Amino acid sequence: MEYKKTSDTYISRSSTLERDYYTKKSIFKKEYKNIFQNDWICAGHISEFSQSGSFKVINNSNESALITKDNDGSINAFYNLCRHRGTRIKDEPCGKFKNNIRCNYHGWSYDLKGELISAPHMNKVEGFKNNDFPLHQIPLKIWEGFIFLNFNDEVNDFDNFFKPIQNKFRLWNIANLEIGNTIKYQIKCNWKLIIQNYSECYHCPIIHPRLSAIHNYLGGHNDLFSGPFLGGYMEFSDNKESITSSGNLCCPPISTLNEDSLNKVYYYSIFPNLLLSLHPDYVMYHLITPLKTDKTLISCGWLFSEGVVSSNKYDLSEAINFWDQTNKEDWYISEQSQLGINSKKYQPSPYSTQESLLAAFDRYYLKRINK
C-alpha cells in the first residue's frame, strides 16, 4: 500500500531483515517461545463451530489446542492431552464429538466443558476424584467473531491489547458472517515473508496483473501504521465493485456497510498470524502457522452474509477462485524470496516508500522477539 502516514526519514533508515531471521533454527525457536506461545494467536472463526460438539485442533510447536463448542453454545479451548497419561486426544484437524470428549487410549471421557466424567477402573484408586482431573484450559477470547488463544500461563490482557481496533471493523458485522469455503496451503518459505508480501502492493503490477486491473497499487492509504495492527485501504478502479474474476460483486454487499466502504477493499495484518481482507460483499482471512524456518501452513477462509452460502443463488467462486489464484501467485514469489535469501550473497537492502508497512512489521517483530 502507498506510504502516506509516516515520514520519509523513517523509511530511508529501514532495511530488510538479516538472513538469520529467515533461516536460523535458533531464531525460529525463539519466535515460538516469545511470540506464538506468548501472544494472542488467531485460531479461526466462530462459524466453523456450527453445532454442539464441533471441534478444531490447533497445533503450536510442541503444544496443541482442542477447541470445542459445548451444549450451551460456548466455545472453549483445552490443551489437547488426556489427564491420565498425557496422550493427545485428537490428531485430525476438525470434526464433531458425538456426546463427550473421549481419549482413545484408555477411555477417559470428559464433557464438552472439559470436566472428567468417566475414568474406567479408577474407582478403586485411593483418593481419586474426577473433579481433580479436568482438561487443562487455554485462555480464549473472541473478537469480531475470530477466536484467539494464548498459551502463556500469565496471559496478557486481551481487551487492552485489542483496544486500538476494538470497534474498527464493526460495519462488516464479521461475527455474524458465515464460512463459505476454506483452502489450506503449505508453502516453502518463512512465515514472515507471507506477511511482508501481503503488506505491500509494490509487486502487484508484475505478479498480479488481474488484481491490478481492479485496484491501482498507488491508490492506497494506511490508517494503521505502527505496532501489532497494520494496514489500510485500496480504492477500486472505475467500474469495479469488488475483487472477483469479473470485478463485480459476487453477492449482495454486506448490509451494514456505509457508502464509503463500498468503494474500497481493506487489508490489515493482526500480529502475529491473522491477515484480514474486507471487501464490500465478503471478508477473507488468512491464518498463518509457522512449521519450520522455511515451511508455513496457511489457511484461507471466505466469510459471507448469513444465508448467502445456503441460498445457492450466487456464484461465490468468482471471489474464491480469484483469490485462490492470487494466493498461489503470492506463494510462488514468496518461495522464490526464501530461495534467494538462502544465498550467501543476500544482504539487507533499503525498503522503498511503497513498503512502509513492512518496515513497521519488522520493527514490531524485533521488539517482540527480543523482549
> What pLDDT, on the 0 to 100 scale, is given for residue 63?
96
> What pLDDT, on the 0 to 100 scale, is given for residue 4?
42
- Confidence band, pLDDT 50/70/90 cuts, at residue 220: confident
Average pLDDT over residues 245-252: 98
pLDDT for residue 19 is more than 70: yes
pLDDT for residue 90 is more than 80: yes
Where are the extended beta strands (E) located within 152-192?
Answer: 178-187
CA pair distance 47, 49, nearest whole angstrom:
5
pLDDT for residue 1 is more than 80: no
Per-residue pLDDT tens over the stretch 224-247? 999 999 999 999 999 999 999 999
pLDDT for residue 218 is more than 90: no
> What pLDDT, on the 0 to 100 scale, is given for residue 55?
98
- Are the C-beta atoms of residues 231 and 12 closer than 8 Å to each other? no
> What pLDDT, on the 0 to 100 scale, is given for residue 9?
42
- Confidence band, pLDDT 50/70/90 cuts, at residue 3: very low
Mean pLDDT of the chain: 94
- Confidence band, pLDDT 50/70/90 cuts, at residue 201: very high
Strand, coil or helix: 178: strand
> What pLDDT, on the 0 to 100 scale, is given for residue 57?
98
Share of the chain above pLDDT 70, in %: 97
Strand, coil or helix: 24: coil
Find, among 41, 85, 83, 86, the residue nearest to 61 by Cα: 41
Q: What is the DSSP letter of 16?
A: P
> What pLDDT, on the 0 to 100 scale, is given for residue 79?
98
For the full predicted model, state whether its pTM sits above 0.85: yes
Q: What does the domain layout of the chain look like in residue ranges?
A: 1-37+176-371, 40-155
* CATH of region 1-37+176-371, choose from 3.30.200.20, 3.30.342.10, 3.90.380.10, 3.40.50.2300: 3.90.380.10
List the grid coordinates of 233: 485501504
Average pLDDT over residues 136-144: 97
Find, among 169, 162, 167, 175, the residue nearest to 258 by Cα: 169
- Confidence band, pLDDT 50/70/90 cuts, at residue 2: very low
Average pLDDT over residues 84-98: 96
Per-residue pLDDT tens over the stretch 319-356? 999 999 999 999 999 999 999 999 999 999 999 989 99
pLDDT for residue 156 is more than 80: no
- Are the C-beta atoms of residues 264 and 222 closer than 8 Å to each other? no
> What pLDDT, on the 0 to 100 scale, is given for residue 128?
96
Report helix angle 191-198 to 356-369, nearest 10. Answer: 150
- Confidence band, pLDDT 50/70/90 cuts, at residue 12: low
CA pair distance 144, 8, nearest whole angstrom:
34
CA pair distance 205, 191, nearest whole angstrom:
23
Lowest mean pLDDT among 7-11, 14-18, 84-88: 7-11
CA pair distance 289, 89, nearest whole angstrom:
21
CATH 2.102.10.10 fits 40-155, yes or no: yes
At 183, phi and psi to the nearest 5?
A: -125, 135
Average pLDDT over residues 289-298: 98
Give the largest Cα separation in the chain, rounded: 76
CA pair distance 291, 185, nearest whole angstrom:
12
List the grid coordinates of 198: 501481503
Please return the burial class of 119, using the count of CB atoms within 10 Å of its CB with bins 0-12, 13-18 and 19+: buried
Helix (H) or strand (E) holding 192: helix 191-198
Rg (CA), the chain: 22
Residue indicated by cell numbers 486500538: 164
Lowest mean pLDDT among 102-111, 219-228, 277-286: 219-228
End-to-end CA distance of the chain: 29
- Are the C-beta atoms of residues 334 and 327 closer than 8 Å to each other? no
72-77, Cβ contacts within 8 angstroms, sequence gap of 24 or more:
74/113, 75/46, 75/49, 75/140, 75/142, 75/147, 76/112, 76/113, 76/114, 76/137, 76/140, 77/43, 77/137, 77/138, 77/139, 77/140, 77/147, 77/149
Find, among 370, 299, 371, 368, the residue nearest to 40 by Cα: 368
> What pLDDT, on the 0 to 100 scale, is given for residue 11?
56
CA separation, residue 217 to residues 3, 143, 210, 255 (Å): 11, 30, 12, 27
Same fold for the pair 1-37+176-371 and 40-155: no
